[in-house]
Amino acid sequence: MIKGIKGVKDVLPEEAPRWRFIEETARRWATGYGFQEIRIPIFEVTTLFARSIGASTDIVEKEMYTFQDRDGTSLTLRPEGTAGTVRVYIEHNRAADPVPQKYFYLGPMFRHERPQAGRLRQFHQFGVESFGTADPRADIEVIALLWRVLSDLALPGLTLEINNLGYGSDRETYRPHLVAYLRHREDALCGNCRRRIETNPLRVLDCKVPECRAATDSAPRFAEFLSEQARTYFARVLAGLDSIGIPYHLNHRLVRGLDYYGLTTFEVTTTNLGAQNAVGAGGRYDGLVETLGGPPTPAVGFAVGLERMAMMLPVTALASAPGAVTVYVAGFGDRGSAAGLSALEELRLAGIRAVSDFRSGTLKAHLRQADRLGCRFTLIVGDDETTNGFGILRNMETKVQSSVALPSLSLHVLAILQGC
């Protein structure tokens, strides 16, 4: 028997409704905020990710799925969505369009990581990217969108953590002070952090290893080296979040694992996922478009993991989803089977979710399958009901039954469903 690859998860039919509900919620909020859907390729030239994410990051050094094309070109399965979206923005000259360029995407990403709860080799993300606006209100908008999506899904134990990474010049001023501090405590750091001292010292502050966190407790704070311009910008972001009622927690250790972030950076964490507690994250990346060959373009965005949202989604969320009520049609007998088939189609054309099991030949068998499928209502249509022109709609929870006229079936069923 051939089995699936470790770290690549099958989404079975009973799990798919959770995913679909999350995706539909994300799409609804994104379009409500004026973002348009974009679909980017699953693989790109490797250089795109090396230049955008940063050659010294863990993603580029250890986690990318890279392979040679037949012509020798190095290609990589996308480890994240921002780089591909930026490439599209540049290649198709979207900067020339006078309307705001705000995109969202949904789809699989790939990283060669050690599989664990909430972290897979093929995982899925919902992300947004907003180009062309250097105003703090653009940061507030994308943070608000992320918070509204997660809140609408009623995901538990959420905290929005936020930090100011300043401008590139601020980080260059801070870097030697941090490196000097880390050098004096190098023996207390893990192997990854010792390697990062020269390549990416800011990442040491974000390390989750307890010994590394203890060793960096008294490290010089980045906030002390921020320019007045960076402080002012960040203060406006926080004031905007306050004004629209989005709670946040300042986290001076939050630096993110991608080189392109600056100024506002944020992450939503949860108390319900154990060690892998990040649900979604993002920030401002004003230099990335220019780095990849485009015009100077301010930008801000985020990405959130669908697997982690699906793990946290309350069961009650699906029960209250629009169209969640399913009607099972129990058509049996010579005339009842034919009438049941017609009833199925009529209900579906009216936008009502309707199912049946054509293997069932008796009412008892139909009701058993309706229970197994979790259907809230069963429409009973036997030979007698067909002759009389009335079906019986049975509430599977309360066992209450009511007659519905078959000639105007969908209108009667809709009226009953709307009263639930």
- Taking the model in full, what pTM does it have? 0.85
Q: How many CA atoms lie within 13 A of 183 on its CB side?
A: 7
Alpha-carbon span 344 to 352, nearest angstrom: 9
Options 3.40.50.720, 3.40.50.800, 3.30.1330.10, 1.10.10.10; CATH of 325-418: 3.40.50.800
Q: Please give the single-letter amino acid code of residue 64.
A: M
Using CA atoms, how far apart are residues 376 and 404, in angstroms rounded to an integer?
16
Question: Where in the chain are the domains?
Answer: 16-167+227-316, 325-418
pLDDT at residue 257 in the model: 60
Under DSSP, the state recorded for 56 is T
CATH number for domain 16-167+227-316, candidates 3.40.250.10, 3.40.50.360, 3.30.930.10, 3.40.1190.20: 3.30.930.10
Q: What is the Cα–Cα distance from 18 to 21, expressed in whole angstroms?
A: 5
* 338-394 pLDDT tens trace: 999 999 999 999 988 999 999 999 999 999 999 998 899 999 999 999 999 999 999
Work out whether the CA dihedral 290, 292, 293, 295 comes out positive or negative: negative
How far is residue 110's CA from residue 76's CA, in Å, rounded to a whole number?
9
- DSSP codes of every residue in 172-202: HHHHHHHHHHHHHTGGGS-HHHHHHHHH-TH
Q: How confident is the model at residue 113 (pLDDT cuts 50, 70, 90)?
A: confident
Distance CA 186, CA 1 (A): 49
For residues 272 and 283, the model is more confident at: 283
Q: DSSP per residue over 240-297, as a string?
A: HHHHTT---EE-TT---S-TT-EEEEEEEEESSSTT--EEEEEEE-TTHHHHTTS---
pLDDT(60) > 70:
no
Binning pLDDT at 50, 70 and 90, where does residue 59 land? Answer: low
Long-range CB contacts for residues 8-13, cutoff 8 Å, separation at least 24: 8/120, 8/121, 8/122, 9/120, 9/122, 9/307
